[in-house]
Amino acid sequence: MSEGHFYDEVRIFVQGGTGGRGIISFRRERGVPRGGPNGGNGGNGGSVIIKASSDVSTLVYFHFKNHFVAPNGRLGGGGERTGGSGADILLAVPVGTVVKDDNGITIADLSSDGQSTVIARGGSGGKGNAHYKSATLQAPRIAENGQVGQKRNVLLELKLLADIGLVGLPNAGKSTLLASISKARPKIAPYPFTTLKPHLGIVTIDERRSLVVADLPGLIEEASKGKGLGDRFLRHVERSKALLHLIDMGQEFDRSPRERYTCINDELRDYDQLLMNKKQLVVGTKLDITGARERLAEFERELNGSMPVIGISCWTGEGLSELSGRMFELIGEVDDVSR
């Protein structure tokens, strides 16, 4: 898979199998000149089932195969034998996959390992003539065709599940930070939009404490309206328990750190007001560069205690140990609120 492709959205077609046809049949036994009806029902068509699995991390499979039709049920048999049912098709998707219909309505949100949903139900098998026997209808010559299976187009959207999401303008230092505090190796370079797909890293304090951090593609203005990487980035923010908001303090920009901080929060708010309810820790990066400390101090004065701030340098390691501890405190606060 190339660096520029992260398969987090696909459209697929699914169809349940058609139920098998019931049959018209009568007993044919020596000494029984008028055997009764014994036509069996058809088997049910197979269904298409989507199941979340922690063994799957991307939707790439569905970019190469996106048409799934479950097997049909089999014809009923004599002796009131029901035809065999078509086998179900089981599609494994990453944990965090949202299934939507053509109208954008959510059918299922598969946010836990093993969670599943029937996305296209197979048709029921048709009734054989044995089903229609009654006191007034001793020799029915009636049998049903099986029902057609459900068919539909669906959209699969992957939203990464992470304890902490790294947000910030392009080149704020998110990939460098993730590489510094975990064993993840995201692509790092001194130009905007290095990160074209999310990366996950595990941050460990000791044998009992670890958390998942997601390095997400950089935001730009009007990302909430689809500009740049747009909502392909923002949908992953939804799943993060808390956010680290990274701001580059290492160089002068057209806008101050406060203005860049406000820009990102405006995009989060425009995409979904609920994102502003997430716990945030603001991280001033690149303190090893001349003038960075002064810019960070001015920024903290402007915030006036409204948001916790910490300064770091991934180059020298300054502040990284304290930051890891603060991240665990942040998640602890979120978990306490959710209890």
**Per-residue model confidence as pLDDT tens digits over 203-251:** 776 666 678 888 776 555 543 444 444 455 677 777 788 999 999 998 8
Domain limits of the chain? 1-158, 164-338
Mean pLDDT of the chain: 83
> pLDDT per residue over 17-66, tens digit each?
999 999 999 887 776 656 789 999 999 999 999 999 988 877 888 988 99
Q: What is the pLDDT of residues 65-108, one digit of tens each?
A: 999 999 999 999 988 999 999 999 999 998 889 999 988 899 99
Cβ proximity of 267 and 234 under 8 Å: yes
> What pLDDT is stored for residue 5 in this prediction?
45
Residue 296 has pLDDT above 90, yes or no: yes
- pLDDT for 205: 67
First to last CA, the chain: 40
Please give the Cα distance from 240 to 225 (Å, whole number): 21
* pLDDT confidence of residue 95: 87
In the numeric block, the tokens 């008028």 are attached to 34
Q: Which residue has the higher pLDDT, 161 or 187?
A: 161
| Cβ atoms within 10 Å, residue 270 | 14
Q: Return the pLDDT at 190.
A: 42
Segment 243-272 mean pLDDT: 88
- Model pLDDT, residue 55: 85
Please tell me the distance from the alpha carbon of residue 96 to that of residue 99, in angstroms, as a whole number.
10
Mind giving me the DSSP string for 171-200?
TSSHHHHHHHHSS------SSTT---S-EE
Q: Is the pLDDT of residue 185 over 70?
A: no
Collapsing DSSP to helix, strand or coil, 37 comes out as strand
In this prediction, residue 194 carries a pLDDT of 37
134 pLDDT higher than 70: yes
- Percent of the chain past pLDDT 90, that is, above it, reads 48
Three-state DSSP at 202 gives: strand
Domain 164-338 fold = Rossmann fold (3.40.50)
Contact yes or no for 268/275 (Cβ under 8 A): yes
State both tokens at 252: 């002068």
Tokens read off for 44 = 């049910």
More confident residue, 118 or 3: 118
pLDDT band of 109, cuts 50, 70, 90: very high
Q: Spell out a b/e string for 301-319, using b for 16 or more CB atoms within 10 Å of the CB, else e.
A: eeeeeeeebbbbbbeeeeb
187, 328 contact by CB (below 8 A):
no
More confidently predicted of 202 and 12: 12
Residues 6 or more apart in contact with residue 116 via CB below 8 angstroms = 49, 50, 51, 52, 110
CATH no. for 1-158: 2.70.210.12
- Cα separation, 171 vs 54, in Å, equals 31
